[in-house]
Amino acid sequence: MDGPSLQLQENLHSSVRRALVSHRPILTHLNADTSWLLQLPYPRDAVRPPGRSRWNILIDPQVWFQGPQSDVASWFSRQWHSVDSSVQTVAELNERLKELEQIAQSGQQPTHHLHDGDSKKSYIDVVIVSHEFTDHCNKNTLLELDRHTPVFATRTAADLIRSWHHFDIVYETPPFSQKDSDWRKTSLQPLPNWLGISRMVTQSDALYYHSAILMTFDLYSTSFNGASEILRAAEAVIYTPHGIHAHDLGHLPSAVPPVRTLALLHGLHDIRISIKQLNLGAHNGLQAQRICEAKYWISTHDEIKKEAGLITPFLYRTVLTLQEAIEKERRENGEISDQSELANVREVTFADLTSGESLLLV
């Protein structure tokens, strides 16, 4: 390797290590659609396994890392990625997580010479399945995971996954509701007590197609005793691949203990089958952002995939950028001012992460 190439590699390695040793979450888009990895640093007073610095949450890996995906039957609907996934298998992802831990722990380049016990260890701590559809819940991909990996899924998806008799623990994702907004109650074992996983739904949607996964965490302490701990705000990442109707987020700002939205994962594309709206798109995302006031808005489930099957001619996609959505609201509502309901959108950092791209959530 020549001098400039070596220098570039060292600079990249240093940047990766600085992100890993920072006490902030890292979000990675595993493909161009809606598979994600959220890496949370352990609180400083938390007990952590040897050689670990991050708790790794795998979100909807079931978006067929390899090959096509179909719903109902292949003649009805088939889809292929238009952009290659950054990982092709769960084993490949696990290997990358192992190498990242080596960098974080030692500050050295990965050695690729680990003991057999290390090579078999899973670095994926929990899996979240947001919907039962095959672009979120793919059997072949899920069965690549270690059977001891806990799974949080919707009721229908959980029943489906249990029928495979592969995983030891499959939870129906508990609700985060207006009646009970204490995120600590959603920290089910074997989750650490500083992390909760829950689900917010649109009650009028019988299939809960429009819903959101809430990953809530307190990265600063594992202690929740006393008034100061009760009032300390936790952080949350909201993942809603189809969108959740904005008004169904209304109880989040008044949650007790308080919850501050760090990131909102909500798509920009409006997708419909005939008159039935599937993905709610940018305009709903703007309304959701006004309510939750996320620091980051990250687009998801917007990959324009290759499609075939009977349903294909009935799918309608309206592609919007965030700026186009804002411009439309500006035309309808007037110029943005400090008092305008559009003003708080200017405070959010918007990111459209490509396949394999990561973002440090500071």
Measured torsion, CA atoms of residues 215, 218, 222, 226, in degrees rounded to the nearest 10: -120
User: For 222-277, what is the HEC assignment?
Assistant: CCCCCHHHHHCCEEEEEEECCCCCHHHHCCHHHCCCCEEEEEEEECCCEEEECCEE
* Dist. CA 351–CA 297, nearest whole Å: 6
Helices (H), 107-197: 116-120, 139-142, 155-162
Task: Tell me if 42 sits within 8 A of 48, measured CB to CB.
Answer: yes
Q: Pull the structure tokens for residue 29.
A: 């888009």
Q: SS3 of 27, please?
A: strand
Residue 358 β-bridge partners: 28
Residue pair 135/33 in contact (Cβ under 8 Å)? The answer is: yes
CB 37 within 8 A of CB 356: no
Token reading at 331: 């035309």
- In angstroms, the CA 139 to CA 187 distance is 26
Distance CA 124, CA 146 (A): 9
pLDDT of residue 113: 44
Task: Work out the burial of residue 227: count CB atoms within 10 Å of its CB; fewer than 13 is exposed, 13-18 middle, 19 or more buried.
Answer: exposed
- Closest residue by Cα to residue 196 from 177, 213, 217, 167: 217
pLDDT by 10s per residue, the chain, length 362: 555 555 555 666 777 888 998 999 999 999 999 999 999 999 999 999 999 999 999 999 864 545 566 565 554 666 656 678 889 899 999 999 999 999 988 755 555 444 445 557 999 999 999 988 888 898 989 999 999 999 999 999 999 999 999 999 999 999 999 888 999 999 999 999 999 999 998 776 656 789 999 999 999 887 766 555 667 899 999 999 999 999 999 999 999 999 999 999 999 999 888 778 899 999 999 999 999 999 999 999 988 766 656 666 678 888 889 989 888 888 877 665 555 555 567 679 999 999 999 999 99
Q: Letter for the amino acid at 340?
A: S
Do the Cβ atoms of 342 and 330 come closer than 8 Å?
yes
Rounded Cα distance between 300 and 351, Å, is: 10
Q: What is the pLDDT, as a whole number, of residue 217? A: 97
